[in-house]
Every structure is written in C-alpha cells, then in structure tokens.
Structure 1
C-alpha cells in the first residue's frame, strides 16, 4: 500500500510502501488525530518504522496496493 504523509512546515512529503492494510493505516491515523497516540507510527515493506508527531500531520493519502510487474512486455 502506498502512503503519502504531508508534514506541516516540511517542504516534502513522506512516501512509503507499507504492508499494512488500508484499514490498519486509517486506524493509526485516526488514533493519532484523536489524541490516543502522540505519534503516527507506520512500518514500511522493509521493516523500518516511520514516526510522525500527531500535531504536525497535514494530510495522509492512502493509495492502492502496488502491482509489481515481472518480465518484459510490449510498451
């Protein structure tokens, strides 16, 4: 799942590929925004954690799962 996170006062967004489902990501974002968690914590495909302070979140965009193509095809 591709996730884009906008951070206030940061010139670039954070983009990561996560193995978490869209529901899990949405739940983590909601918990951070409601105040249940002070950090938004997501894990990417390589096992690295991304931590963003909840009060600095500008937006979170949850994309479609990426399909990896293998082999050669006509373009």
Structure 2
C-alpha cells in the first residue's frame, strides 16, 4: 500500500510503500492526531522505520491496497 505524508514547513512529502493494512495505518494516524502518541511511526516494506512528530503532520494520504498490474490490458 502506498502512503504519502505531508510535513508542515517542508516543500517535499514523504512517500513509501508499506505492508501494513489501511486500517493499521489509519489507526496509527488517528492516535497521533488525537494526542495519544507524540509520534507517528510507520514501517515500509524493506523494514525502514519512519518517525514523524504528530505536531508536524500536514496530511497523510493512504493509497489503495490493490497491486499494480503488469503488462497490457486487452
């Protein structure tokens, strides 16, 4: 699943693919925005951990879980 995170006062966004489900990512974002956690911590498919302070979150875009098709569609 593709995840993009916008960070306040930063012209670039953080984008990566994760093996976590959409529900897990949404739950982590909701906990960070509700003040239950001071940090948003997500892991990509390669095992890299991304940690973003909750106060710096501008937006989080959660992509679809659908895998990309390879080849031509008839």
State the TM-score, normalizing by the size of structure 2. 0.90
1:31/1:68 CA distance change after superposition, 3 Å: same
Q: Which residues of 2 match residues 1-75 of structure 1 at below 5 A?
A: 1-69=1-69, 73-74=71-72
The aligned length equals 73
Contact 1:2 1:66 in 2 (8 A): no
Look up the SS of the partner of 1:19 in the other structure.
coil
CA RMSD of aligned residues (A): 1.5
Deviating 4+ runs (over 3 angstroms): none
Distance in 2 separating the partners of 1:53 and 1:66 = 29
CA drift of 1:65 comes to 2.2
Q: Give unpaired runs (5+ residues) of structure 2.
A: none
